[in-house]
Structure 1
Amino acid sequence: MANAELLKQQLIQKAWEDEAFKQLLLSDPNAALKDAFGIDVPANLKLKALEETDNELYLVIPQKPSNTQLKSSNLDAAEDSSW
């Protein structure tokens, strides 16, 4: 599992277990990452956290690769995403 995917799973797990952390993650994701994991998010990077509900799901469209042809690795990454 890639480092980013592992971090994502850790963030989700912590948000499920800690309501105060979840609220901070939703309101100020940069501060939540700093407080919980000691990670400084670069100032030029905008980070958003959203909470799905029974009636609202989110589809994240990744940035288009510089090569306009989709490679199997890109498709594999898309398949690994979940709802």
Structure 2
Amino acid sequence: MSRSNRREAGRRRLAMRLPKIRKLIMEARDPWQLELFEAYQIAVEAREALRGQSSHAHQVREYDETCSEIEQDLIRTMSEPSRGQISSG
């Protein structure tokens, strides 16, 4: 998957996971946010590749935590008035 495809897949996945800020996610153009979308997709892909393998349960939990941290970062930054205005403009 190309970098831009990975970013857009991450964006769509996050928009589904975070409906309260879905509009801001879909309008985001800030390079930092685009990097988070890509990182989220990479973490999800890695987690899914390891899921179901008992020998990798710890790594799956780590990827779950990473995904959760990215979600929380987006909620926090996109909820800030100045960040929301920058990302949607």
Relative to the length of structure 1, the TM-score reads 0.33
Relative to the length of structure 2, the TM-score reads 0.32
Q: Higher relative contact order at CA 8 Å, sep ≥6: structure 1 or structure 2?
A: 2
Which structure has greater helix proportion? Answer: 2
Q: Who wins on radius of gyration, i.e. which is larger?
A: 1
